Amino acid sequence: MLTTITEGILCCLTGKAASLVLPLESSEPSDGFEFVEVKPGRVLRVRHIIPERPVVTEDQVAGKGNTDGTDDDVEGSLEEDNESNTGSSVHCKRKITVYRNGQLVIENLGDVLHSEILQCQDGDLEPCSTVEVELADYKEMPSSPDPNSAPPPVPSPLGEHKPAPPPRRRRRKPKRTVQIDSKRVISSCKGTHSDVALFFVHGVGGSLDIWGSQLDFFSRLGYEVIAPDLAGHGASTAPHIAAAYTFYALAEDLRAIFKRYARKRNILIGHSYGVSFCTFLAHEYPDLVHKVVMINGGGPTALEPSLCSIFQLPSCVLHCLTPCLAWSFLKAGFARQGAKEKQLLKQGNAFNVSPFVLRAMMSGQYWPEGDEVYHAELTVPILLVHGMCDKFVPMDEDQRMAEILLFAFLKVIEEGSHMVMMECPDTVNTLLHEFFLWEPDMSRKASSKTDMALTDSLHTLKINKPVDK
């Protein structure tokens, strides 16, 4: 800690930032690591693992020159790839209306299995439903009474209370109306499918190393996985310009990574701040994004720069406070703070960024377009994973997100916190894998047991909130 304080004092005296994160020295990609130049002088480290699959030649497809019985294997793999392209065609028709008083009305008009995909358990079709929420803080009550509300009932002389007349509804003019009418095919994604790719995006202060358990697990199952380091994080370059860490700059970096490695069906997995980038890509490329996983992302409010006073301090002062910030992150990011968690934090290379990058990241979180309407326009299936002990993102925000989204599964892990994928890797991996293999059954005659296979399997891993003693 004394060394850190000394470097911070020298930083103040010289006016230069200390300990910038620079790329690791590597002559060529090894162990699945690649360095991609998204812009001139802006290089990101990417871990790209391609599973080993048998190479199919034209002669094998035609059935020529094979006498050892490999034709059946080739045909089986080709049939499996063809099956991966077929799935349930879901019709999503939605009307989103925003009023001037901050009211948001979402009307589901299509023939989506709304009751089965969302909260209902009866398995009946619910083609039409309406969700009405407030754009402002939904916990706050109006400070002044509503002038259009019905007057209180007046007691009669005999002591009888007559019911108040129903309030008169005034036709309001909407401020904004969004119409969604689209069809998408939702199918299961297995590791043997060559047209499937998994993208893992970390948050502020993290790196691709926090996904170590997930990358190893899914690559062993045959999935193609891609995990980048954001600018200034891990082994990516760290420009000493605050504008390089705004949401839009980082989003363009990930857009370049996505366009480089994208397959026909892509699944995005984001954590914390990384969830916003996954939402951005899902909105920009609806035909390429197949499913999305949001881990402790919160929302769905628009992003704003952090107003925390500690991140407004000079970089040299933040450098002196780095040990305290790391300890605070360990205490708030993990449910337990033992030797195992400290080792996970060290192995995951988490919170190992320069004070300048940390300050620029927190100040650059400005994304006004990512509001409730932006999230309500998503028609892709989404799995929400929340750690019960998370001190950064409250449960209310993920519940709010589940209300806004059309296809949403909200799963809670009791023993997990903000870094739940590192604390409970087996549970998270099982949840994600079940979600990847899930495919909706659109038949009206299907029973709830067969059509809710994913929900049943995921509920076995969901633990109820403990009762306060």
Known catalytic residues? 272, 390, 418
Rounded to whole angstroms, how far apart are CA atoms 202 and 423? 15
Is the distance from CB of 402 to CB of 410 less than 8 angstroms?
yes
User: Residue length, the chain?
Assistant: 469
Bridge partner list, 19: none
Stated as kind and residue range, the H or E segment containing 133 is strand 129-134
Rounded to whole angstroms, how far apart are CA atoms 21 and 15? 17
Bridge partner list, 367: 303
Matching residue, tokens 């769905």: 300
Nearest to 300 by CA among 203, 391, 368, 392: 368
Q: What torsion, rounded to 10 degrees, do the Cα atoms 368, 371, 376, 377 define? A: -10
Neighbours of 406 (CB within 10 A): 24
CA pseudo-torsion sign 416, 419, 420, 424: negative
Rounded to whole angstroms, how far apart are CA atoms 196 and 202? 20
Burial 341-377 (b: 16+ CB within 10 A, else e): beebbeebbbbbbbbbbbbbbbbbbebeebbbbbbbb
| φ, ψ dihedrals at 294, nearest 5° | -115, 115
Is the distance from CB of 386 to CB of 359 less than 8 angstroms?
no
Q: Six-digit token pair at 21?
A: 């994160």
Is the distance from CB of 303 to CB of 367 less than 8 angstroms?
yes
Which residues, including other chains, have CB under 8 Å from residue 451's CB and lie 6 or more apart?
A: 113, 116, 123, 440, 441
Peptide bond into 300 cis (omega under 30): yes
Nearest to 94 by CA among 59, 127, 50, 139: 127
Bridge partner list, 178: 96
